[in-house]
Amino acid sequence: MNTYSWIQLGFYFVVLVALVKPLGSYMAKVYQGERTFLDPVLAPVERFVYHISGINPRSEMTWKIYAVAMLMLNILGLIVVYLLQRLQGILPLNPQGLGAVSPDSAWNTAVSFTSNTNWQGYGGETTMSYLTQMLGMNVQNFVSAATGMAVLVALIRGIVRHTAKEIGNFWVDMTRSVLYILLPLSLVLALALVSQGVVQTFSQYQTVSLIQPSAGNEAQVIAVGPAASQIAIKQLGTNGGGFFGVNSAHPFENPTPLSNLIEMLSILLIPAALCYTYGKMVGDTRQGWALSAAMTVIFVMVLGLAVWSEQRCNPVFAAIGIDQTQTNINPGGNMEGKEVRFGIVNSALWATATTAASNGSVNSMHDSYMPLGGLVPMWLMQLGEIIYGGVGSGLYGMLAFVIIAVFVSGLMVGRTPEYLGKKIEAYEMKMASIMILVPVVVVLVGTAVAVISPAGKAMIFNPSAHGFSEVLYAFSSAGNNNGSAFAGLGANTPFYNTALGIAMLFARYWLAIPTLAIAGSLVRKKKVPESAGTLPTHTPLFIAWLIGVIIIVGALSFLPALALGPIVEHLMIFR
């Protein structure tokens, strides 16, 4: 890499780390009910919400009631998004007169946005009305993000409290997540994006004359709409659904290098800061920094692989005389599918960040990456998207790995494992195992069914290993609630819409419910006094052990499948 590339990466990490502590501390105050600087403005609004909703903020829930409340809200959201799509042809705020979305696509999209996946088998500007985008997708971007944050906070209470039954009030946690965290950040980010040229309007699409018209083609329709508000929460909430079909590669979603930096920071901002929030809420910030360190080490390693892979010249292009030489901005390499205004480093950084978080937005086409460059986002999703993961969901997924790591280390020394004063026993291990194994089963079984069924094979347009990679990537994305795509796969069909929709449901709720079950189990336990035999979970040794467990589980689960896709494709190209 050249100096310019190092500066870009270094500046990104410096700014991200600098924002972790202030935002993390603020979110801890929000969830612990402490006073914040926004209370004079937002506290009356919060009380009004509780009043009109009939919510008693002092009434708490057991984990089962908490889970039922979470499922009820999410089911309602799924139904509303489905109906908005099916009825949008007769609803207002549809200046382009777009018709109803097909049942299978509407189902897939409703599940996608409700589950915080935001997988899109459609082009936003040609399929969805302004009302559907705002009232359907945009609202679910807030609700699905807040759901993950609420489940995480419930788990933290389960760890902190002892000999109790309740883990908090779901409706309060949702309200405070949206009102005090997501809305203010989204407002600031939306204004910043508008200042960079991101569109925000209710006007109908604009028809403009071409500067260089060709025969029969003298004008072009320019899609516009209320995009900035949706883009802000899609990034902050690790949702990722694009207002336009090509997502953040579109000049109206991501027009400048500055908007690109701001959006990349917003993807990891809340997940990274939640590590510090966790440390504050458990009373030991070292615990939060330890989890953050484990995430960062893995992130930096795979980011290095992605950048290195994309900066290698493609021998296929070299054989046909395509110039891949270095310029002042781009250090040379594979520019296929990438925006020139972002270059290789910013594209690889985005691809790594968006799949480390369960975001799924793209500023380049992952299908055009070199085989090992494409392996990086695929494998990050397959780890369960815990590096840094979705807002809330990434950290509670990481804590499942912590439970596994603590349990295994306890077995190795012949001692009952403990974590932050709570004994880790068979029940917690069963629930943590479900959280880790369900996405693995969903991805591998879904991929297997797709590559052997006629309906699945009919939509694979690329032959050999790359076609398999596209299917594996699709189910890795849906089975881990990411939403990005390799492209090159005809996914907007009844088969893929149905199969990927089922994968998204399993990946979201078969992880969230076991998480709440763990919280319900831990909250009833007594605190075990720390002793000489207690395993410290904030030391470099434990961080290294946790990283090892994550990598080993990821390798054992997906290495055979990866060998059939990107690994063998790499060997075929560089033979």
pLDDT digits (tens, 9 = 90+) for 293-340: 999 999 999 999 999 999 887 787 777 777 666 555 555 688 888 998
CB atoms within 10 A of CB 530: 11
Instruction: Say how many CA atoms lie within 13 Å of 542 toward its Cβ.
Output: 24
For the chain, percent of residues with pLDDT exceeding 90: 80
Does any domain span residue 16? yes
> Which amino acid is located at 467 in the chain?
G
Does any domain span residue 348? yes
Rounded-to-integer distance, Cα 278 and Cα 20, Å: 12
* Nearest CA-CA partner of 292 in 27, 16, 507, 514: 16
DSSP string, 504-565: HHHHHHHHHHHHHHHHHHHHTSPPPPP-TTPPPSSSHHHHHHHHHHHHHHHHHHHHHHHIII
Rounded-to-integer distance, Cα 513 and Cα 350, Å: 30
422: which residues sit within 8 A by CB, 6+ positions away?
A: 159, 162, 522, 525, 527, 528
Rounded-to-integer distance, Cα 442 and Cα 439, Å: 5
- Domain total in the chain: 1
Q: What pLDDT shows up at residue 316?
A: 76
Average of per-residue pLDDT across 366-386: 93
> Rounded to the nearest 10 degrees, what angle do helices 103-114 and 63-87 cross at?
140
Q: What pLDDT shows up at residue 519?
A: 97
Does any domain span residue 528? yes
Does any domain span residue 216? no
The CA–CA distances, whole Å, from 472 to 333, 487, 563 equal: 25, 12, 11
The overall average pLDDT reported for the chain is 92
Instruction: Determine the structural domain holding residue 318 and report its residue range.
Output: 3-209+221-573
Q: What pLDDT shows up at residue 32?
A: 96
pTM for the model stands at: 0.94
CA 415 to chain centre: 36
pLDDT digits (tens, 9 = 90+) for 498-528: 999 999 999 999 999 999 999 999 999 999 8
Does any domain span residue 215? no
Q: What pLDDT shows up at residue 327?
A: 54
As a residue count, the chain comes to 575
227 band by pLDDT with thresholds 50, 70 and 90: very high
Does any domain span residue 523? yes
Q: Is 208 helix (H, G, I), strand (E, B) or coil?
A: strand
Contact 105, 90 (CB under 8 A): no
Q: What pLDDT shows up at residue 183?
A: 97
**Pairing state between β 422-423 and 206-214:** unpaired
For the chain, percent of residues with pLDDT exceeding 70: 98
pLDDT digits (tens, 9 = 90+) for 148-195: 999 999 999 999 999 999 999 999 999 999 999 999 999 999 999 999
530 band by pLDDT with thresholds 50, 70 and 90: confident
Q: What pLDDT shows up at residue 324?
A: 66
Does any domain span residue 183? yes
Backbone φ/ψ region at 226: left (φ over 0), alpha (ψ -120 to 50), beta:
beta
The CA–CA distances, whole Å, from 462 to 260, 476, 485, 488, 542 equal: 30, 18, 14, 7, 43
Does any domain span residue 214? no
